[in-house]
A and B are shown apart, each in its own frame.
Chain A
Amino acid sequence: MSQFLMYLTNGIVIGVIHAISAIGVSLIVGIMKVVNFAHGELYIFAGYFSYHLTTTLGIPPLLAMPLSVFFIFLIGIGMERTLIRPTYGDEMYSLIITFVLSIVLQNAALLIFGPYPNKPPNLVTGATKIFGLYHYGNQRLLSFFISIAILLFIFYLIKKTWFGKSIRAVSQDRGMSSLVGVDPFRVNMLSFGLGAALAGAAGVVIAPIFPVTPTGSSAVSLTAFVVVVLGGMGSLKGCVVGGLLLGVIENFCAAYISTMYRSIYGFIILILILVFRPWGLFGQKS
């Protein structure tokens, strides 16, 4: 029983980690119809920023984390202004540009930060005995709760604030929203920045558990795309459910079938979804 509960706990924690890694991709796809292939690299850069701000510059981790996210937000804004904006209306161009950018950033990370894995210091250490049955790492539990807080904040921002309403308006009808006084270029720029910042937030929250490496970005992007397709392109709710589903399935299949093909289980579910429900669990059938 304790083993089963351990697998379930880990599935949920990893699921939320998958969700926060993917929500930035979902947001940008949903609003701007742009697939950001450089998402994983922004995650990795945030992890490295957080590491260097704390260990090289001696900034407290709790300050280094939002600072790193802010830097990634600025990079996101810069990317939108220089690379993405000229491609509006042609999804293929933006796809190619972000793909090329991902390769450039990956190599830049290797050049700047070196090949070794790095992680910012843990905010907490040790493990907690859950239900008196099994030990679970405290840093994982903390990252799990921070991720939930970030997800709740994003839902609030999109659903309840004026900024969120403008984002939804632009995503539904660009022309009409500009007629009622919403500047779609500004909204797109901030949305892309927000999506990038979410990649950064995932990076700084998860890096203390899974150290970042320059080449680790591909796996981050791949998992994010699997989650987004599972949940439905552009659906934030679907992103959370897709992440949880992936995390729990991976863990149970690894535990009860084989540990050797952990990442394959997620792809099997993805194929099944693409065959029977190609618009995803919460996406809209076009």
Chain B
Amino acid sequence: MKRFFILGLVLGFLMVGTWAWAADTAKIGVVGPRTGPAAATGKAFEEGIALALDTINAKGGVLGKPLEVIFEDTGGVPEKAASAFERLATREKVPMVVGESHSSSALAEIEKANLYKVPFIICEAWHDDITKKNYKWVFRAGPANSGVVDFYIAPFVKDSGFKKVAIVRENSDWGVGIAERTEMDLKNYGIPFVTLKVEGSSKDFYTELTKIKSENPDIILAYIYGTGLHFFVAQANEVGLSPHCLILDGAGPPSLWPEFWKNAGAAGELELFMSSMHEKVHLTPMSRKFWDDYKKKYGKDPTDYKVRSIYNVILIAADAINRAKSTDNEAIVAALEKTNLEVTTGTVKFGLKPGTYEYHQWMPPMLVVQWQDQKQAVVYPKEAATGTLKRGK
């Protein structure tokens, strides 16, 4: 009898304990690659999540409870990404998911978001179709291929007077989408170009670079993500193509990874890359706060702008749940559609006109940055420029 009593007591304690623990925090899910070729993004996400939780929980958390994040690894693989999302939706039962940095993974995840009716805010997967599908549950507070190309890359090429462009794109959803949009814009501007398709996992680009060299371009738009970008930049210099021909990293983060200079060496000088972050460009007071908080927590300046992207979407998610005053999915979507929140990159307002990629889309301002003496100089757009574009000899 005594044994049954003790067993009952223990079970009861465990049940109450579990309930109390579960009820103690508000949870949201994050999806992103913590392993695989883009595992560096996972590291950036971890830092951004920690900072966002500090900021949100210091202000009372979400619905009066501390916010907790469950970070599922996608490995950058669409099938794994879909399962990760499914796990968050069905097992963890999170009211909302944010994150992602691979278009192919995001395209798999939005189907699950639509199936389970879980609001999902994407921060760094750029393929137009992600929001172009106009799913009620899917939002993006980050760049879209069309926006990046139409407002930044193509105008930069035109305004800087480049005569011939080589587009090098990996065979991923992001690579294909952004290259097609670039081709369209360059055609409209009347700027000649050649396109070369490469394998995303390739390490040796000598053959590709030899072909590009024979076309004599003055800028290469490199749509290659990951370590491959480092190889590409280093090898372009070895075959005598750069710095005479400049290289623009169309994604950005690989040029900011801590190992970029070790891997690319002197060839990294004058390389251009897309970014939404620069130490001297602070569009909102939140941006300055983020920079200071990061330095305080990690003892260094932030480099990978994906730290800030995930930070932003967690802030947007917390704000929406607080305004919805519940974790009901319909209420959260309604709140998200009325978002008017200042984050580090501007004031977030999602597009509401259906029919295009701009539905449920908010595009942060982007910058074209150039490595000059191993320091970042913003060279485009002109209103944000901290330096002028340098050309190689």
Give the interface of A toward B (CB within 8 A).
Answer: 3, 6-7, 10, 14, 55, 107, 110, 114-119, 122, 125, 127, 134-137, 140, 210-211, 213-216, 219, 251, 254-255, 258-263
A-B contact pairs, 28 of them (CB 8 A): A3-B211, A6-B239, A10-B206, A14-B204, A55-B262, A107-B35, A115-B40, A115-B42, A118-B263, A119-B263, A135-B240, A136-B238, A137-B238, A137-B239, A140-B238, A210-B203, A211-B231, A213-B227, A215-B36, A216-B227, A251-B206, A255-B210, A259-B197, A260-B198, A262-B198, A262-B202, A262-B207, A263-B201
Contact between B210 and A3, CB atoms less than 8 A apart:
yes
Sample of 14 more A-B contacts, CB < 8 Å, known A119-B262, A262-B199: A3-B210, A6-B206, A116-B258, A118-B259, A118-B262, A127-B239, A137-B239, A211-B262, A216-B227, A258-B197, A259-B197, A260-B171, A260-B198, A260-B199
A-B contact count (CB 8 A): 102
User: Once the chains are docked, how many angstroms separate the CA of A120 from the CA of B198?
Assistant: 26
Which of chain A's residues has its CB closest to B44's CB?
A115
Top 3 A-B pairs ranked by shortest CB distance?
Answer: A115-B39, A137-B238, A260-B197
User: Once the chains are docked, how many angstroms separate the CA of A251 from the CA of B204?
Assistant: 10
Which of chain A's residues has its CB closest to B76's CB?
A215
Note all chain B residues with C-beta closer than 8 A to A136.
Answer: 238-239
Note all chain A residues with C-beta closer than 8 A to B202.
Answer: 262-263
Give the interface of B toward A (CB within 8 A).
Answer: 35-37, 39-40, 42-43, 171, 196-199, 201-204, 206-208, 210-211, 214, 227, 230-231, 235, 237-240, 257-259, 262-263, 265-266
Min CB distance B103 to A, Å, is 18
> Given A110-B35, A135-B239, A211-B263, do A259 and B208 touch, yes or no (CB 8 Å)?
yes
- Chain B interface mostly: helix
User: Once the chains are docked, how many angstroms separate the CA of A105 from the CA of B160?
Assistant: 48
Note all chain A residues with C-beta closer than 8 A to B197.
Answer: 258-260
Min CB distance B163 to A, Å, is 22
Note all chain A residues with C-beta closer than 8 A to B207.
Answer: 7, 10, 251, 254-255, 259, 262
Note all chain A residues with C-beta closer than 8 A to B210.
Answer: 3, 6-7, 134, 255
Contact between B199 and A135, CB atoms less than 8 A apart:
no
Min CB distance B56 to A, Å, is 26
Contact between B263 and A259, CB atoms less than 8 A apart:
no
User: Once the chains are docked, how many angstroms separate the CA of A214 from the CA of B36?
Assistant: 8
User: Once the chains are docked, how many angstroms separate the CA of A6 from the CA of B274?
Assistant: 32
User: Once the chains are docked, how many angstroms separate the CA of A10 from the CA of B42?
Assistant: 35
Which of chain A's residues has its CB closest to B169's CB?
A260
Which of chain A's residues has its CB closest to B241's CB?
A135
Which of chain A's residues has its CB closest to B262's CB?
A119
Min CB distance A104 to B, Å, is 14
Min CB distance A37 to B, Å, is 18
Contact between B204 and A210, CB atoms less than 8 A apart:
yes
Contact between B211 and A255, CB atoms less than 8 A apart:
yes
Which of chain A's residues has its CB closest to B203's CB?
A210
User: Once the chains are docked, how many angstroms separate the CA of A229 from the CA of B266?
Assistant: 39
Contact between A211 and B227, CB atoms less than 8 A apart:
yes
Note all chain B residues with C-beta closer than 8 A to A259.
Answer: 196-199, 207-208, 211
User: Once the chains are docked, how many angstroms separate the CA of A110 from the CA of B34?
Assistant: 10
Contact between B204 and A127, CB atoms less than 8 A apart:
no
Min CB distance B387 to A, Å, is 27
Note all chain B residues with C-beta closer than 8 A to A254.
Answer: 207-208
Min CB distance B190 to A, Å, is 26
Q: Of B238, B259, B262, which is within 8 A of A135 by CB?
A: B238
Min CB distance A229 to B, Å, is 21
Which of chain A's residues has its CB closest to B214's CB?
A3
> Given A115-B43, A125-B265, A262-B199, do A210 and B37 touch, yes or no (CB 8 Å)?
no
